[in-house]
Chain A
Amino acid sequence: MRLNLKIWRQKDANSKGQMVDYTIKGVEGDMSFLEMLDVLNEELINKGEEPVHFDHDCREGICGACSLQINGEPHGPDRLVTTCQLHMRKFNDGDTIVIEPFRATAFPVIKDLVVDRSAFDRIQQAGGYISVNTSGNTVDANATPIEKEKADDSFYAATCIGCGACVAACKNASAMLFTSAKVSQFALLPQGRVEATERVQNMVRQMDLEGFGNCTNTGACEVECPKGISLENIARMNREYLNATVKG
């Protein structure tokens, strides 16, 4: 395959970036999208140019490091995959592919396609935990049975990989799906109920402070989420937040 790539290049956080055109030949269908970029980078290095920077690590769809807005969609056109698991067989010979960083005011660009997603960490730090000592001596794990269905729902919420595709897809750059996934994971478990009121208030406050947009229920986040995190979590967070506000 021969592909035309239009890639956002930006020297550093303070520089002005621009789209740059590249042509790449010999792309195979079995390559992942990032392996295709590896090939491009190898060519650039051999020409003495700086390679395109992008975040990536596990390359098996679980660490959440890889990002990229590909042809206007986070993680590209395929569903339920991250960019590292998007394969080139989804594209055709001669295609033009536009590659941009995830865009949000709360995700400033560091270099090229690398963005700073530390806002997500700060939301988690504001309350994404259960305040239990980690030095042992808790009750037996089976002391509190938990309804399987609730445990499963909690698990599904907890499978969020924190990649930021929800923010990138949302026309409002809202982080509701991300925040609600963590709120839901704990709200569904008896252990998490104890701090539920404070948790949701603190996490939402931090989310707002970071400059993410407001949710308008377009549902784009759920469609683009590589882990299929459900909009139900956002509804649950709204509910939790309302309860918390009423309780004061």
Chain B
Amino acid sequence: MGILDSKVPSGPLADKWTEHKNKINLVNPANKRNIDVIVVGTGLAGGSAAATLAELGYNVKTFCYQDSPRRAHSIAAQGGINAAKNYQGDGDSAYRLFYDTIKGGDYRSREANVYRLAEESANIIDQCVAQGVPFARDYGGLLDNRSFGGVLVSRTFYAKGQTGQQLLLGAYSAMNRQINRGKIKPFNRHEMMDLVLVNGKARGIIARDLKTGEIERHSAHAVVLATGGYGNVFFLSTNAMGSNVMAAWRAHRRGAFFANPCFTQIHPTCIPVSGDHQSKLTLMSESLRNDGRIWVPKRIEDAQAIREGKMKPTQLKEEDRDYYLERRYPAFGNLVPRDVASRAAKERCDAGFGVNKTGEAVYLDFASAIQRYGKEAALTSGMKDADDKTITQLGKDVIEAKYGNLFQMYEKIVDENPYETPMMIYPAVHYTMGGLWVDYNLQTTIEGCYCAGEANFSDHGANRLGASALMQGLADGYFVLPYTIGDYLSHDIRTGKIPTDSPEFDKAESEVKDRINKLMSGTGEHSVDYYHKKLGKIMWNKCGMARNEQGLKEAIEEISALRTDFWKNVKVTGVADGMNAELEKAGRVADFLELGELFAKDALTRNESCGGHFREEYQTEEGEALRDDENFKFVSAWEYKGEPKDAVLHKEDLVYENIELKTRSYK
């Protein structure tokens, strides 16, 4: 196994987690009071971890760059959270959720972790309801479920289109309870600038107070990173503007391996880019694909006419439309997994069938759903001979009840009424399956440095299923990490407080200050955004939905050159010892410029197509992904060796004892 030991417990799959919990070391309550834990990031994973750790008795310090933990980007998750509750009695079980997740991830995730996730999923719902999270209910007063892409059961719990918000506020309130008890000390508007290692163990962080610019030292017996994904390496993504990779990347530079950086999820239903001013992309929930039909014109002349504004989509006859998902994947149709739907949209647009002025948009059409629902509503309300107008109106009412807030959001942004004319959508970077490598205990390759939520790599393989991100964040934070970290901390009961005046802290702090000074002293040719946008273009064009060897090689060169240029010529205005948004951005973009290169290198090494990673060289004749289990059934974990190009690859072989590897087929 070499240095990568996943520490997966032995025994039957279903018993691993229980057995493991029975055997690991615990810290007695009196000793927990003497142990400090730092949690960086306060989204679903970090917020829930901080709350539970504090409740168990540890002294917790939390850090987030936002002005309040409540603003973490988990809040933007719309659709829902999966849990194997089988409330609908449709045959769901922990095993089925486990199986769907492994399959959806295209067989590139670790069995034991995913099974544990599926096992804990039911517990999350119980926990959140007890905390007062107002999930949607049916008229009998019980919890309601909906179905999501890529699965055949209804296991998704939701709170309208704001599930992430409700769950995050639940974790935030659990944190608040501990803050009120004095067990959590929150450091908001603080950014982790570096990880401090003492004798090879993570013992603290250097943070910058974003309000005053002050550089601070914080020590602890363990450090938990729950800082989310790195989708913003593409500049345009559905991530928040401040989402960044800095904490994870700083840990990587200190010895934490970075796993599968090229596994990025491109979400198929986002509002298309409208111009150069675009600062971020907005997601439209995947649930829309339950009722919307995706199409482009059949004839390229029609597409052209639509782009030039000479024709309206509603003028195009039914037989002149190409419902390409239904055509290519008759079994799953518009409900194929995200990676498949995204690539199919790109394929059509690349072939010249795009429908907005940039040529990068397809239609998501609700007209037939409106008719179908309208007819049903007319019948159930006893109108046997309802006219077309009434049916359309009734149908619109049903659609409004289901997706009203999304339709309203679309109209605000695009200024078109989606009840009358089809929505335009296009794929956008949404989630990163890759992240810091962690073992079964969620510990990185640095002792005492743990990683939870989107920031780690562990559960989603090469593609994440809808409504599973929230599940993973909360399972990690509430139920996994607080136990597994105890095993490590049990060795620290006699350590005593970690001093912050050690040479290790001195050195880390001075390195942080040097880096800031270097950023502030660029010659000032271009703004930070200039570099970020350039990086984003390279990433999107060469490391996006489809990748090839030549493009990836170019990307590595281009990013490397851009990074050199950045450090020489970036212009950062303002001062270091005060609030400075440009300096914050500069630090983050500097790390993206390293990560981007490793991303491309990882994609170049993986000579197969799987999940969100599609290499043009490896596809079937019909254009479907060609996975190579013989040679690539492993996790790529990269060790930092100076420049990204020098990173060393370590492989963790994926062992499937309970699942037979198959080619995903959604036809």
Interfacial residues, chain A to chain B (CB-CB below 8 A):
11-12, 28-32, 34-36, 38-39, 42, 44-46, 48-51, 53, 55-65, 78, 80-81, 85, 87, 89, 110-111, 114, 116-118, 120-121, 124-136, 138-142, 145-148, 151-152, 154-155, 158-159, 161-162, 185-186, 189, 191-192
Residues of A within 8 A of B69 (CB): 121
B68 interface neighbour in A78, A131, A154, A162, Cβ under 8 Å: A162
B240 within 8 A of A: yes
The 16 sampled A-B contact pairs (Cβ below 8 Å) are A50-B574, A56-B241, A62-B76, A85-B412, A87-B413, A125-B180, A135-B55, A135-B56, A141-B126, A141-B129, A148-B138, A158-B159, A161-B165, A162-B71, A191-B132, A192-B132
Find out whether the CB atom of B277 lies under 8 angstroms from the CB atom of A35: yes
CB within 8 Å for A57 and B127 given contacts A45-B573, A142-B143: no
B578 within 8 A of A: yes
A118 interface neighbour in B188, B278, B412, B579, Cβ under 8 Å: B188
How close is B87's CB to chain A, nearest CB, in angstroms? 6
Q: Which B residues between 464 and 505 are near A, CB-CB below 8 angstroms?
A: 478-479, 482
Complex Cα distance, B518 from A197, in Å, reads 55
Residues of A within 8 A of B578 (CB): 11-12, 111
Measured as residues with beta carbon below 8 angstroms from the partner, the interface class of chain B is: 35 or more
B132 interface neighbour in A30, A145, A185, Cβ under 8 Å: A185
Residues of B within 8 A of A32 (CB): 279, 413
How close is A182's CB to chain B, nearest CB, in angstroms? 8
CB within 8 Å for A124 and B165 given contacts A55-B67, A57-B242: no
Find out whether the CB atom of B478 lies under 8 angstroms from the CB atom of A134: yes
How close is B110's CB to chain A, nearest CB, in angstroms? 22
A189 interface neighbour in B85, B134, B143, B524, Cβ under 8 Å: B134
Complex Cα distance, B487 from A200, in Å, reads 40
Find out whether the CB atom of A134 lies under 8 angstroms from the CB atom of B176: no
Find out whether the CB atom of A117 lies under 8 angstroms from the CB atom of B581: no
How close is B436's CB to chain A, nearest CB, in angstroms? 23
Find out whether the CB atom of A141 lies under 8 angstroms from the CB atom of B85: yes
Find out whether the CB atom of A146 lies under 8 angstroms from the CB atom of B413: no
B560 within 8 A of A: no
B51 within 8 A of A: yes
A87 interface neighbour in B278, B280, B415, Cβ under 8 Å: B415
Complex Cα distance, B646 from A8, in Å, reads 48
Interfacial residues, chain B to chain A (CB-CB below 8 A):
48, 51-52, 55-56, 66-73, 75-76, 85, 87, 123, 125-143, 159-160, 162, 165-166, 169, 172-174, 176-177, 179-180, 186, 188, 211, 238, 240-242, 274-275, 277-280, 282-283, 408-409, 412-413, 415, 478-479, 482, 524, 527, 529, 571, 573-574, 578-579, 581-582
Find out whether the CB atom of B412 lies under 8 angstroms from the CB atom of A140: no
Complex Cα distance, B181 from A126, in Å, reads 10
Residues of A within 8 A of B413 (CB): 32, 85, 87
Find out whether the CB atom of A12 lies under 8 angstroms from the CB atom of B579: yes
Complex Cα distance, B142 from A28, in Å, reads 48
B279 interface neighbour in A55, A59, A114, A129, Cβ under 8 Å: A59
Complex Cα distance, B139 from A74, in Å, reads 37
Residues of A within 8 A of B133 (CB): 158
Find out whether the CB atom of A30 lies under 8 angstroms from the CB atom of B275: yes
A59 interface neighbour in B72, B174, B241, Cβ under 8 Å: B241
Further contacts, 19 of them, CB under 8 A, given A50-B582, A189-B134: A12-B578, A49-B573, A50-B573, A57-B242, A61-B409, A116-B211, A118-B68, A121-B70, A128-B176, A130-B173, A134-B55, A138-B129, A142-B142, A151-B135, A155-B160, A161-B75, A162-B68, A186-B132, A191-B132
A38 interface neighbour in B123, B137, B277, Cβ under 8 Å: B277
How close is A206's CB to chain B, nearest CB, in angstroms? 10
How close is A175's CB to chain B, nearest CB, in angstroms? 14
Find out whether the CB atom of A46 lies under 8 angstroms from the CB atom of B527: yes
Find out whether the CB atom of A130 lies under 8 angstroms from the CB atom of B131: yes
Complex Cα distance, B68 from A116, in Å, reads 10
Top 5 A-B pairs, shortest CB-CB distance? A145-B141, A129-B173, A155-B134, A138-B130, A141-B129
CB within 8 Å for A57 and B66 given contacts A133-B55, A135-B55: yes
Complex Cα distance, B130 from A57, in Å, reads 30
Nearest B residue to A86 by beta-carbon distance?
B412
